[in-house]
Every structure is written in structure tokens, then in C-alpha cells.
Amino acid sequence: MLSIAELPRSTFYDHRKRLQGPDQHHDLKEAIRQVFEDAKGAYGHRRILAVLRRQQRRVSKKTVLKMMRALGLRCRVRRRRRYNSFRGEVGQAAENVLNRQFATKRKNTKWATDVTEFTIGSSKVYLSPILDLYDNRVISTTVGPSPSVKMVTDGLRTAINDLEPSEKPLVHSDYAEVFVNPRNPCLS
């Protein structure tokens, strides 16, 4: 058999002796298993290698990877899901009356609003400011735990309450443009 494989007898017996002998990486395997269990399966080979090196062990990255594969240790991969705000068809787009002409010569003629998401710790907060495009001052703001039409309309109600009866600004958002009428039943 050895002559067919063109393998020297000494090589065959050397490999057989190694396989029957004690595992020379036993301590390293136990250290890798211990670090993996301490991390509750969240560490991959790179982080385990860093912990082992902090423990003053001299080991290569490929050896750690090979030992983890031999032990069947695989970390749980946490992939971030891409944010997607699309929730289906929302409605009909309004006509673009403002047409990117954001400058104005009088206050309370053009307003802009949008909803901004802030991540604070593990929760999210949504802010909806209304800006007067005359001097970019904030007229009103509303904050909420979720982006909703109610949050935006509450901010518009607050801003409308400070208008003079003759003022009817154009409100621009990513959703719609409307001429504000202080006596508009849908905002009151």
C-alpha cells in the first residue's frame, strides 16, 4: 500500500504515532472554548485571539480559526438590517407649488417641515420642526416616539395659532405642500 502511494514507511508511522498520542493543543482548545463560553458565543476568532493575547498566549490567528472549526464553535453573526421606511402605498403626491424657490421676502409666507429620527440608547425619538423660510427660525416643534401624521399636524396647529388672520403661508414637506388657512377644518 505504501509503495502504491509512494509514501515512506517512516512518514506513515510518524503520522500514526501523532494521531494516537496526546493532543498538543489541548490547553489552547480549552482556553478558546472558555473564552467563547464567557462571551456567550458572541466572539469570533479575531476577538478570541485578542483575549488570548491579553492572557500572554502566543498563538496565530489561523491557529485560533482552525481550533474553533475543529471544536465546532461559531459565533452568532449580528447583521444590521438596512433601514426601510416604505410601508406600502401612502397616497397621491401633491403638486410641487414651491418648485425649489425657498427664499422669501416676508415672514410667514413659506414654511418647511420634515420628520427627523434620533437614536438615543436603544430607543428612537422623532422630531418634527416647522421652519419659517424667511429667516430660518423654528416656529414650532413636536416630539414623539413614532413618526405620525398627528405629530406633524399638532406642530402645524401650534404654528397656525400664532398667525395673523391675513397670513396664509405655503407649507412644504416631503409629503405635501398646502396653503395654510387658519380656519381649515382638517387642521383644527
Q: Are 75 and 49 in contact (CB under 8 A)?
A: no
DSSP collapsed to 3 states, the chain: CHHHHCCCHHHHHHHHHHHHCCCCCHHHHHHHHHHHHHCCCCCCHHHHHHHHHHCCCCCCHHHHHHHHHHHCCCCCCCCCCCCCCCCCCCCCCCCCCCCCCCCCCCCCCEEEECCEEEEECCEEEEEEEEEECCCCEEEEEEEECCCCHHHHHHHHHHHHCCCCCCCCCEEECCCCEEECCCCCCCCC
Confidence at 174, pLDDT banded by 50, 70, 90: low
Residue % of the chain over a pLDDT of 70: 87
- Per-residue pLDDT of 22-69, as tens digits, reads 878 889 999 999 999 999 888 999 999 999 999 999 999 999 999 999
d(CA 70, CA 153): 60
Fold of 110-179: Nucleotidyltransferase; domain 5 (3.30.420)
Domain range summary for the chain, segments of one domain joined by +: 2-71, 110-179
Q: Are 180 and 187 in contact (CB under 8 A)?
A: yes
Averaged pLDDT of the chain: 81
Whether the full predicted model's pTM is greater than 0.75, yes or no, is no
